[in-house]
Structure 1
Amino acid sequence: MKREKLVNFMAKIMEESGFKVYKNFKTSKYVVDIYGIIPTAIGDMSVVVACKNYDKKWKVGLDVLKEMEMVAKNLKASKIVIVTTSDYTKQALNYAAKKNIKLIDRAGIISLAEKFSKRLQAPEEEFHDEIESYTPKESAFNNAKRSLLSRKEPKTSIFKQSRILFQNLFFLVLLVVGISIGLTHLIETFIRLDERILGILKIFFSFILSYGITPIGEKEKMFILLRGTVVFFISLLILIIIILI
């Protein structure tokens, strides 16, 4: 996969997830492949992404991670993501785990292509052609399995529809607020509590639900955290208004 193709692919995924994306973003010292910003209730959260189209024989080393840390520090970014068509050295993997840096290798790219091919309105084969050397060959068993699964289309379509619903921010906020209020009223029927405690309970339930429900519609950990934060703070504002009223 060419670097430009890789950058455009990752940028499109981020845009679909609500980011404002800047490709080849220039700072005084660095040029960042992708600089993404997503608005939240507590302010903008930013992500810096490095795309490395290395041959599979070459692995991304610790130097790339440390360079991206400098970039993130310079831009005050909340998250660092590094994407490569190859793999990472053991040192880089260990360092990333300690520093909470998101690493995506060639297998991860294929996985992303499969997840987002329909959302990007582009055929999945287009991405597989670019990284065909990394794509495992399908066996006759896999083909037969896919054929059998295709007969269960009604169930799959219902699941997809419900998942799309959980990707809707407005729906998530309403769901979180509704369940939080409902649970609080349920507790109130059994235990008589002070209004302030009930208010705290509503906020507590909204916090748990915001991060608990979000993974249904989003699988990427980075986006789960961001979307969950947005849902929680919008729900929090609504609950505060309701409590004050």
Structure 2
Amino acid sequence: MLYELDPRKFEELVAHIFQIQGFDITLTPKTRDGGRDIQAVHKSSLGNMLYLIECKRYQSSNKVGVELVRSLYGVKQSERATMGILVTTSSFTKDALDFASPLKYELSLRDYETLKKWLKDYK
């Protein structure tokens, strides 16, 4: 069913998952979103953390490439966010995974398998 969701509805679903985890959520406009679909802020006594989340509702055969991962990382750096998260209904190319690997505290790639876990916990 994830593959049949309207892309905006997919963004709203991901935003809601973060919201129920205690994040303050802002959905960006449908177009000209500045390279991220969701801004999620986590506030605690240790300080505030800004997560920029990009959502890609792709078919399973359409892997997310390194270009999108690099783009999100650039936006994350530009906005001085704590973490960039790319969430997809697909998976990631080897180049995308290789790019993100040394940035594990700044960039997180979440694929279909992770989404299934999130939705199971969401119930």
Same fold (TM > 0.5): yes
Task: State the shift of 1:31 in Å.
Answer: 4.5
Residues 80-159 of structure 1 mapped to structure 2, 5 A cutoff? 80-100=84-104, 101-117=107-123
Indicate if the aligned counterparts of 2:87 and 2:111 stay in contact, CA closer than 8 A: yes
In structure 2, distance between residues paired with 1:54 and 1:35: 21
In structure 2, distance between residues paired with 1:61 and 1:113: 24
In structure 1, distance between residues paired with 2:73 and 2:120: 29
Higher helix share: 1
- Computing the radius of gyration from Cα coordinates, the structure with the larger value is 1
Task: State the shift of 1:42 in Å.
Answer: 3.6
Q: Structure 2 stretches of 5 or more lacking a match?
A: none
Q: Which residue is 2:34 aligned to?
A: 30
SS of residue in 1 equivalent to 2:61: coil
The equivalent position to 1:9 in structure 2, one of 1, 13, 35, is 13
For 2:113, give the aligned amino acid: A
Higher strand share: 2
In structure 2, distance between residues paired with 1:61 and 1:18: 30
Count of residue correspondences: 116
TM-score (norm 2): 0.84
Higher relative contact order by CA 8 Å / sep ≥ 6: 1 or 2? 2
Q: Deviations over 1:96-126 (max 9, x none)?
A: 1111121111121111111112xxxxxxxxx
TM-score (norm 1): 0.44
Q: Structure 1 stretches of 5 or more lacking a match?
A: 118-245
Structure 1 residues 29, 58: CA separation in 2 closer, same or farther (over 3 Å shift)? closer
Task: State the shift of 1:5 in Å.
Answer: 2.3
Root-mean-square deviation (Å): 1.9
Percent of residue pairs bearing the same amino acid type: 25
Q: Deviations over 1:117-154 (max 9, x none)?
A: 2xxxxxxxxxxxxxxxxxxxxxxxxxxxxxxxxxxxxx
SS of residue in 1 equivalent to 2:36: strand
